[in-house]
Amino acid sequence: MPLPHVLLSAAVSLDGCLDDAGPDRLLLSSPADFDRVDEVRASVDAILVGAGTLRADNPRLLVNSPERRAARVAGGRPEYPLKVTVTASGDLDPRARFWHTGGEKVVYTSDKGARRLRDAGVAADIVPLGAEPDWRLLLEHLHDVRGVRRLMVEGGGTVHTQLLQRRLVDEIHLVLAPLLVGDPRAPRLFGPGAYQGGRLRLLETRAVGDVVLMRYEPTAPGTGALAVPADRHWLRLACELAAQCPPSRTAFSVGAVVVAADGTELARAHSREAGDPVVHAEEAALAKIDPADPRLPGATVYSSLEPCTRRASRPRPCARLILDAGVRRVVTAWREPDTFVRAADGTGLLRSEGADVVVLPEFEPAATAPNRHLLG
């Protein structure tokens, strides 16, 4: 199920606080950074905040620049992004500025919360999602029903923590502000719980006035049959590697990456690399890893083409090499066509021996591009 691109945006103090414990909202961003936030808001389809932020800050969540609003309209988009909030309790003030400024609003809630919001006369599309709203369902609804492709999440800490722990985040925009709060009651950005194990990927650092913007993306593969944003990053890389293969009229160009459960890249390779005219991408990548590496059973293999099941040039096909290496998760873009082998079914073989195979067809164009001359 496709989900929107989820961008978490937050500003924190040097001691990691989102706010102080006082009644007024703490301004952590510099004026230049608030303008940068406005630019990001103007670029998205929807902005989401949790009910805690609505109660604490009474925000408007507008695109403030008239030029940016005009550019949205000129581009055929609504003047303002859709405003989204989430509440289990339904305990939201119908007079809050959120409901009475900007464009359309939607509130995701529980069945009980929906009754309460309707009784209060809240001016928004009220969408009940069962007893305890589930984030994946909510994102699917935004994508499928509201057409949201890019979602900016502007807090607070509870919402940011849940989305990151559930592996639903594509990108984090974190601003570090040069001030210290020092109050143990002040809210923190990320709470305790289970996050991905390893390091996130740093995409950018930028000084904006006196604050520093850091952009990160998660790196850890998903588990089982569900794809997470990091899976798409690694499969995109496998497709880029496929484009680096020496051309051939008798074999596919394929790229592969092996990634540990904590997001550490273990190996990458492409077909026919290092002067071997027949080596396959998955085979070459696995050959770079110590077979006793304890990270292999938890690893994911990303391959632009599904792993092969029959080979003339080697005793073991790639699907078998993957299973023998102990890997139990494969993400691929493209099922093997009948070009060289009829009814190859690497996915079937892998699944029959207990591996999860995730096919992400949105990457098929990138995976097939270096092979177009073979496809007739």
Ligand X SMILES: Nc1c(N[C@@H]2O[C@H](COP(=O)(O)O)[C@@H](O)[C@H]2O)[nH]c(=O)[nH]c1=O
Residues that bind ligand NDP (CB under 6 A): 10-11, 18-19, 25, 28, 49-53, 56-57, 86-89, 91, 132-133, 135, 154-159, 162, 187
- Categorise residue 226: left if φ over 0, alpha if ψ from -120 to 50, beta otherwise: beta
Pick from 8, 37, 296, 322 the residue near ligand X by CB under 6 A: 37
Contact string (CB under 6 A) for ligand X, positions 55-94, x = contact: --x-xxxx--------------------------------
Q: Which stretch binds ligand X (CB under 6 A): 21-29, 83-91, 255-263, 346-354?
A: 21-29
Q: How far is the CB of 75 from ligand X (least distance, A)?
A: 22
Number of residues in contact with ligand X under rule CB under 6 A = 15
Binding of ligand X by 50 (CB under 6 A): no
- Residue 59, contacted partner among ligand NDP, ligand X, none, CB below 5-8 A by kind: ligand X
**From CA 78, how far away is CA 73, in angstroms rounded?**
6
Q: In 3D, which of 342, 334, 319 has the Cα closest to residue 366?
A: 334
CA 19 vs. chain centroid, Å, equals 26
* Token output for 209: 């006035």
Cβ proximity of 175 and 166 under 8 Å: no
Pick from 6, 48, 49, 331 the residue near ligand X by CB under 6 A: 49
Residue at token pair 């408007």? 60
Exposed/middle/buried for 212, CB within 10 Å: 0-12, 13-18, 19+?
middle
SS (H, E, C) 214-266: EEEECCCCCCCCCCCHHHHHHHHHHHHHHCCCCCCCCCCCCEEEEECCCCCEE
Contact string (CB under 6 A) for ligand X, positions 137-176, x = contact: -----------------xx---------------------
* Token output for 42: 């103007």
**From CA 286, how far away is CA 283, in angstroms rounded?**
5
- Residue 133, contacted partner among ligand X, ligand NDP, none, CB below 5-8 A by kind: ligand NDP
Of the pair 90, 307, the CB lying nearest ligand NDP is at: 90
Pick from 7, 45, 53, 117 the residue near ligand X by CB under 6 A: 53
* Token output for 208: 């904006």
Of the pair 62, 284, the CB lying nearest ligand X is at: 62
Binding of ligand X by 100 (CB under 6 A): no
Of the pair 88, 124, the CB lying nearest ligand NDP is at: 88
Binding of ligand X by 102 (CB under 6 A): no
Which stretches of the chain bind ligand X, using CB under 6 A?
Answer: 11, 25, 27-29, 37, 49, 53, 57, 59-62, 154-155
